[in-house]
Amino acid sequence: MTTETITTDQDIVRPAPLPSSRELFHGFLMLGLTGFGGVLPLARRMIVEQRRWLSAAQFTDMLGLCQFLPGGNIINLAVAIGLHFRGVRGAFASLLGLIAAPSAIVIALGVIYQRFQDNPSVQHMFAGLAAAASGLLISMALKMLMPILKKPLPLLIASLFFISIAVLRLPLLPTMLVLAPLSVIAIWKLPS
**Per-residue confidence (pLDDT) for residue 105, from 0 to 100:** 83
**Per-residue confidence (pLDDT) for residue 84, from 0 to 100:** 95
Is pLDDT at 10 greater than 80 in this prediction? no
More reliable by pLDDT, 188 or 18: 18
Segment 108-115 shows an average pLDDT of 82
**Per-residue confidence (pLDDT) for residue 38, from 0 to 100:** 65
Which residue ranges make up each domain of the chain? 3-147, 151-192
Average pLDDT value for the chain? 84
Alpha carbons 9 and 48: distance in angstroms, whole number = 8
Q: What HEC string does the chain produce?
A: CCEEEEECCCCCEEEEECCCHHHHHHHHHHHHHHCCCCHHHHHHHHHHHHCCCCCHHHHHHHHHHHHHCCCCHHHHHHHHHHHHHHHHHHHHHHHHHHHHHHHHHHHHHHHHHHHHCCCHHHHHHHHHHHHHHHHHHHHHHHHHHHHHCCCHHHHHHHHHHHHHHHHCCCCHHHHHHHHHHHHHHHHHCCCC
What is the per-residue pLDDT across 33-56, written as a single tens digit (0 to 9) for each? Answer: 887 666 888 899 999 999 999 999
**Per-residue confidence (pLDDT) for residue 111, from 0 to 100:** 85
pTM: 0.58
What is the per-residue pLDDT across 45-102, written as a single tens digit (0 to 9) for each? Answer: 999 999 999 999 899 999 988 988 888 889 999 999 999 999 999 999 999 999 998 8
Is pLDDT at 1 greater than 80 in this prediction? no
Is pLDDT at 139 greater than 60 in this prediction? yes
